């Protein structure tokens, strides 16, 4: 996942960033809502983790601004304020969840995963048939056709292709792909992702001038629909 963390307490941000990056997630750390504004329209963001007590624009104001812009990215509020009224105000401003400081790292990760999973489900294609350039993919029947002709993918190739399609136009790290497709939490010594992306390109890009699977240098891959 790519996570925008808005937190000015460096003691908290350092352990959150360290823990999330060790799990293979990408974390963009900013210390103010003003700095966070530059990132909220980034398509590759999965979630915003946001402190309330910030210098300048506070977390509640920032959340309202994000929602005013019709941006529905999940927002998880972090706050030392634990009263019911504080939680209600944050949730009514547009936040999706509220976690009181001090918190356990395991609970933070669990909340983040739950919000992103819910958002991915909500935005998943409702029709099992997806068309991308000259490809027609049936996600339920595990069928791929290119210009009307069948493209024969192995089960693992199709699972990889399906994951890329469900997260199209988003940068996916190799670690995220490993976890989703192979069930491997972290293994930086394997090149299985690169090998299977190569297999997949050889089949779905045949006869095309450019690949629909873009390499994002130093990070991973992105399936583009442009």
What does the pLDDT read at residue 64? 94
DSSP character string of 116-174: HHHHHHHHS-SSSEEEETTEEEETTTTEEEETTEE----HHHHHHHHHHHHTTTS-EEH
Distance CA 180, CA 158 (A): 13
- The per-residue pLDDT for range 157-167, each reduced to its tens digit, is 999 999 999 89
Percent of the chain with pLDDT over 90: 54
Measured CA distances, 173 to 17, 187, 194 (Å): 16, 12, 11
Q: Are strands 172-173 and 149-150 parallel, antiparallel or unpaired?
A: unpaired
- Tell me the CATH number of domain 2-123, given options 2.70.98.90, 3.40.50.2300, 3.30.1600.10, 3.60.20.10: 3.40.50.2300
Does position 210 have pLDDT exceeding 90, yes or no?
no
CATH class for the domain made up of 129-223:
mainly alpha
CA 66/CA 61 separation, integer angstroms: 9
The chain-wide mean pLDDT, for the chain, equals 88
Q: Write out pLDDT tens, residues 42-99.
A: 767 899 999 999 989 999 999 999 998 888 899 999 998 888 898 999 999 999 999 9
Domain ranges of the chain: 2-123, 129-223
């Amino acid at each position: 996942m790519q996570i925008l963390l808005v937190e000015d307490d460096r003691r908290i941000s350092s352990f959150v960033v360290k823990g999330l990056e060790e799990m293979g997630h990408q974390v963009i750390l900013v210390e103010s809502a003003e700095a966070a504004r530059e990132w909220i329209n980034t398509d590759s963001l999965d979630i915003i983790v946001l402190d309330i007590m910030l210098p300048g624009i506070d977390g509640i104001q920032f959340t309202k601004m994000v929602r005013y812009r019709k941006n529905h990215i999940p927002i998880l509020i972090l706050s030392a304020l634990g009263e019911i009224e504080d939680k209600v105000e944050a949730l009514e401003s547009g936040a999706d969840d509220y976690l009181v400081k001090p918190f356990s790292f395991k609970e933070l990760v669990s909340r983040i995963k739950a919000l992103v999973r819910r958002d991915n489900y909500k935005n998943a294609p409702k029709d099992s048939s997806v068309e991308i350039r000259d490809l027609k993919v049936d996600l339920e029947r595990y069928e791929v056709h290119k210009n009307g002709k069948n493209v024969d993918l192995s089960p693992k190739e199709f699972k990889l292709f399906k994951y890329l399609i469900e997260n199209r136009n988003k940068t996916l790290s190799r670690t995220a792909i490993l976890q989703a497709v192979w069930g491997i939490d972290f293994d930086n010594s394997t090149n299985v992702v690169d090998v299977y992306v190569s297999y997949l390109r050889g089949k779905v890009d045949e006869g095309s001038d450019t690949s629909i699977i873009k390499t994002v240098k130093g990070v991973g891959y992105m399936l583009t629909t442009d």
